[in-house]
Structure 1
Amino acid sequence: MRPYEGYVYAYPHKTAYRPLDPRPRLKEVWAGERPGALYVHIPFCEMRCGFCNLFTRTGAPGELVTAYLDALERQARQVRDALEESTSATAGFATAGSDTAGSDTTGSDTTGSDTAGFATAAFGGGTPTYLDARELTRLFDLTERTMGVDLTRIPLSVETSPATATPDRLSVLAERGTSRISIGVQSFVDAEARSAVRPQQRAEVDAALDAIRASGVPVLNIDLIYGIDGQTPQSWLYSLDTALGWRPEELYLYPLYVRPLTGLGKQGRAWDDQRLELYWVGRERLLAAGYEQVSMRMFRLPGTGSSTEYCCQTDGMVGLGCGARSYTSELHYSFEYAVGARHVRSIIDDYVRRDEFDVANVGFSLSLEERKRRHLIQSLLQGEGLSRRLYAERFGTDVLTDFALDEFGDWLLADPEAIRLTAEGLAYSDAIGPALFSPEVRRLMEEYAAC
């Protein structure tokens, strides 16, 4: 089994979504569901990296940004109305500032946790800090006022880039309660950054990291990439050690993927051995530096994680913006998905003209078997593994009865409490995750890729 089949950040992937007919009303979709997470998507970047297959466009003019924020506010208003209608009977959706802290199923401290039913929030993209300070202020205003969520009372993560992590923007983030900033550096070696089609200057990167630390935002995450053409264990260690100079609370180590419709899409070659070697080098260095491994990609300083009631296996997510996905226990939905620049621009243009946001347009309806499979994948790829008790409480069966996991052999550790991946198993997460996809999800993804 090859170690790098695909990154499973969500199941099912948006390429398995299809137009919904009929399009269900959001108030029906969310009936009896807990929102849990709020995600706001800004689809703009100052440049397109060679490895990027995210839903984003470059060079958006100011008038498009304004139109996008206008549409985001229209969407937020209609989504909020739908959530209030769907949960009014159970009082599951509270107004901002009310005391909605409940019991914590994970045992963490949730004092002053969720407002408006949300336990955590994120601004992603794209690059949210593509917006200037004034536009960022409006983004916070419309999110808080329209959605009724107090972002100073729940963990809020915001993505940024070296070119846009400027003091004026960071000041807005810090003043409005941002608790985590994630910055994509990818490499501290200029030649490697250029090889990954990410033009950036080391001085700009250093200045951005200094500014983030000066802002006082509690958690800094730095993204780094391994497997870049010309990268060696020595240059990889240089990037890791340089990042450690800022003592980030989190580091994400991403293997480079060559994907269709990206800047590196025509340079395909087999380099599994190089990436696997660099993975082990990076893991060893971070563990020696006192970090704990949370997943294949995520490393964290102990004691710096945000505690919330949110549980990705059982709670839902409300997504705002044309590239955001939303999910409940039985339906995952979004707008259309694309990677190619022309199609992305067309979808954004359609979004800013849209007035109807109270229905789900494109999505995937999860059967009981798919819900079980998603719970398995979302849990198993984390360092703490899958709680057999939580799975049994949710589905009434044991996971090993529902799924034959023998093919993963020595990569799994099973006891009465949990099923976990070994250290070798975590290294092969990008093979194990895709191997657990259902035949139907595989078919839909392959059908999309063939279009």
Structure 2
Amino acid sequence: MSDTPRPYRSYVYAYPHKTAYRALPERPGLAALWADEPKDALSLYAHIPFCEVRCGFCNLFTRIGAPDELTTRYLDALDRQAVAVREALGDASPVRFATAAFGGGTPTFLTAAELERLCDIAEKRMGADLRAVPLSVETSPATATADRLAVLADRGATRLSIGVQSFVEAEARAAVRPQRRADVEAALGRIRDAGVPVLNIDLIYGIDGQTERSWRFSLDAALAWRPEELYLYPLYVRPLTGLGRIQDPAAADREWDEQRLRLYRYGRDHLLAHGYEQVSMRMFRRADAGPAGPDDYACQTDGMIGLGCGARSYTSDLHYSFDYAVDMREIRSIIDAYTETEDFSRAEVGRAVDGDEARRRHLLQSLLQAEGMPVAGYEERFGSSPFADFGPELARFEEYGWIADAPAGLLRLSPEGLAHSDGLGPELFSPAVRAAMAAYEAK
């Protein structure tokens, strides 16, 4: 349909988006924020904002390198923050972490000894039992060294995710991710040797000059390692050549959309034919891969504790974090300020989540999963029907062909609905969140 939203508008991995956050004038205390929250199935996330190189497609909160013992000062601050947060959680009710993750940036930018310290902070300060819960860690070809991987395997990592993006060296250069395929393959070998149960490989489609043939080359190179998971990401930075030479921006956008959709469908079908199941638009899991460990965390309802200056924390009423930036100078300034912070007992930046926003978040995070959303679970939580709360939006999705014929009681996207997840997601943003995102001054 001509009025169908563009398929690649925004990657919706959290709601409300961080660009809708604002400074909290009242700076609420964490102890009060968490006083009445369930704390028996929390998620713990530690953010390490360092990389050896900044990829051309990256808008994550990270900086290149860490001079003057910056990683030591950062871990010192992370330790102080963990002590303050754990104290704020209190002991009036059980505190248990059901899942943990180290992201960034590149956590394995840290040395092996620093990774040991990071795990100690999670365990000794926060009380997380890393060997008893799923622990996911992000890495890169250059930093996936044997000593670092040995630490992570010993401390309970169940999943290692490596950003390869492309096994074609020319495409990696086009995405400003220069790397030799031999180095990538060597890193994958070290990860397999480490014995971590789940290997995830990230690949990107939509790179300038990428074709179905070169895309299949990368897919097959990844499949040769039989990864338990594969993530297929659409590129979100307009190529500097090729499409960028087209005079009409609208025509360039349409052509790029068509290229990405074509490559997405090719990749999806290729993985499905090779024994993978689709979990979401981006995630594919090998059908015969066993579970990475017990996982009773529900992202729609359970709380999240974020440590580090780029991490978010979620209570039922407030999502909060620190300041956010993309510009490298601003990021360096925020990281420096974080390392100098002594008092981590208050929330600084965030956004309140009322009943309407909670409904939107629940629907978004459930609907964008291939398994869909049990309607009864929504009704039990909110006392209302998603069809009453979001009737016009769901009717539009139905008209676009994005809603599947699913078993009774299940609201599920069709294959085309999943393909358009990045167009569907923003359709469910509230007017207030859209206005806040539009008013955000990028820095």
Q: CA deviation at 1:149?
A: 1.4
Counterpart-to-counterpart distance in 1, 2:179 and 2:191: 17
Q: Check the 8 A contact 1:319/1:326 in 2, yes or no.
A: yes
- The runs of at least 4 consecutive aligned structure 1 residues that moved more than 6 Å come to none
Counterpart-to-counterpart distance in 1, 2:372 and 2:347: 32
Which moves more between the two structures, 139-148 or 326-335? 139-148
Q: Residue 411 of structure 2: which of 396, 407, 419 is its match?
A: 419
Counterpart-to-counterpart distance in 2, 1:309 and 1:169: 28
> Residues 436 and 66 of structure 1: is their aligned pair in 2 closer, same or farther, counting only changes over 3 Å?
same
Counterpart-to-counterpart distance in 2, 1:164 and 1:444: 37
Q: Tell me what 1:103 maps to.
A: none
Counterpart-to-counterpart distance in 1, 2:159 and 2:217: 25
In the alignment, does 2:118 pair up with 1:139? Answer: yes
Counterpart-to-counterpart distance in 1, 2:442 and 2:332: 21
In the alignment, does 2:305 pair up with 1:318? Answer: yes
Q: Tell me what 1:366 maps to.
A: 353
Counterpart-to-counterpart distance in 2, 1:173 and 1:62: 25
Counterpart-to-counterpart distance in 2, 1:192 and 1:34: 46
Consecutive unaligned residues of structure 2, counting only runs of 5 or more, are: none
Q: Residue 156 of structure 1: which of 126, 132, 135 is its match?
A: 135
> Residues 295 and 374 of structure 1: is their aligned pair in 2 closer, same or farther, counting only changes over 3 Å?
same
Q: Tell me what 1:50 maps to.
A: 56
Q: CA deviation at 1:134?
A: 1.0
Q: Tell me what 2:395 maps to.
A: 406
Alpha-carbon displacement from aligned partner over 1:22-45 (angstroms, at most 9, x marks no partner): 011111111222341000000000
Counterpart-to-counterpart distance in 2, 1:24 and 1:157: 30
Q: Residue 436 of structure 1: which of 419, 422, 428 is its match?
A: 428
TM-score (norm 1): 0.91
Spell out the pairing of 1:273-422 with structure 2 (5 A cutoff).
273-302=258-287, 303-306=289-292, 307-404=294-391, 405-409=394-398, 410-413=401-404, 416-422=408-414
Counterpart-to-counterpart distance in 2, 1:65 and 1:254: 29
Counterpart-to-counterpart distance in 2, 1:167 and 1:2: 43
Counterpart-to-counterpart distance in 2, 1:238 and 1:203: 15
Alpha-carbon displacement from aligned partner over 1:68-104 (angstroms, at most 9, x marks no partner): 00000000000000011xxx33x221xxxxxxxxxxx
Alpha-carbon displacement from aligned partner over 1:314-338 (angstroms, at most 9, x marks no partner): 1010000000000011100000000
Q: Check the 8 A contact 2:325/2:442 in 1, yes or no.
A: no
Q: Tell me what 2:145 maps to.
A: 166
Q: CA deviation at 1:237?
A: 0.3
Q: Check the 8 A contact 2:326/2:442 in 1, yes or no.
A: no
Identity of aligned residues (%): 64
Counterpart-to-counterpart distance in 2, 1:299 and 1:151: 25
Counterpart AA for 2:395: D
Q: Check the 8 A contact 2:99/2:135 in 1, yes or no.
A: yes
Any idea what SS the aligned residue of 1:253 has?
A: strand
Counterpart AA for 2:72: T
In the alignment, does 2:206 pair up with 1:220? Answer: no
Q: Tell me what 2:222 maps to.
A: 243
Q: CA deviation at 1:191?
A: 0.1
Counterpart-to-counterpart distance in 2, 1:337 and 1:415: 42
Counterpart AA for 1:376: L
Q: Check the 8 A contact 1:72/1:320 in 2, yes or no.
A: yes
Q: CA deviation at 1:249?
A: 0.2
Counterpart-to-counterpart distance in 1, 2:339 and 2:442: 29
Counterpart-to-counterpart distance in 2, 1:274 and 1:231: 9
Q: CA deviation at 1:450?
A: 6.5
Consecutive unaligned residues of structure 1, counting only runs of 5 or more, are: 94-116
Q: Tell me what 2:107 maps to.
A: 128
Counterpart-to-counterpart distance in 2, 1:348 and 1:284: 42
Q: Tell me what 1:105 maps to.
A: none
TM-score (norm 2): 0.93
Q: Check the 8 A contact 2:49/2:106 in 1, yes or no.
A: yes
Counterpart-to-counterpart distance in 1, 2:390 and 2:68: 51
Alpha-carbon displacement from aligned partner over 1:248-274 (angstroms, at most 9, x marks no partner): 000000000017xx999x958420000
Q: Check the 8 A contact 1:197/1:263 in 2, yes or no.
A: no
> Residues 158 and 450 of structure 1: is their aligned pair in 2 closer, same or farther, counting only changes over 3 Å?
closer
Any idea what SS the aligned residue of 1:318 has?
A: strand
Counterpart AA for 2:410: A
Counterpart AA for 2:396: E
Which moves more between the two structures, 185-194 or 19-28? 19-28
Counterpart-to-counterpart distance in 2, 1:411 and 1:251: 23
Spell out the pairing of 1:62-211 with structure 2 (5 A cutoff).
63-84=69-90, 88-89=91-92, 91-93=93-95, 117-211=96-190
Q: Tell me what 1:96 maps to.
A: none
Counterpart AA for 1:48: R
Counterpart AA for 1:180: R
Counterpart-to-counterpart distance in 1, 2:128 and 2:186: 32
Counterpart AA for 1:429: S
Any idea what SS the aligned residue of 1:431 has?
A: helix
Q: Check the 8 A contact 1:38/1:121 in 2, yes or no.
A: yes
Alpha-carbon displacement from aligned partner over 1:307-365 (angstroms, at most 9, x marks no partner): 41100011010000000000011100000000000100000000000001011110000
Any idea what SS the aligned residue of 2:45 has?
A: strand
Which moves more between the two structures, 409-418 or 420-429? 409-418
Alpha-carbon displacement from aligned partner over 1:394-432 (angstroms, at most 9, x marks no partner): 001111111121011221136541100000100000000
Counterpart-to-counterpart distance in 2, 1:3 and 1:195: 23
Q: Residue 45 of structure 2: which of 35, 39, 58 is its match?
A: 39
Counterpart-to-counterpart distance in 2, 1:349 and 1:304: 42
Any idea what SS the aligned residue of 1:32 has?
A: coil
Q: Tell me what 1:114 maps to.
A: none
Query: How many equivalent residue pairs?
Result: 421
Q: CA deviation at 1:62?
A: 5.2
Q: Residue 17 of structure 1: which of 15, 18, 21 is its match?
A: 21
Counterpart AA for 1:304: G
Counterpart AA for 1:183: I
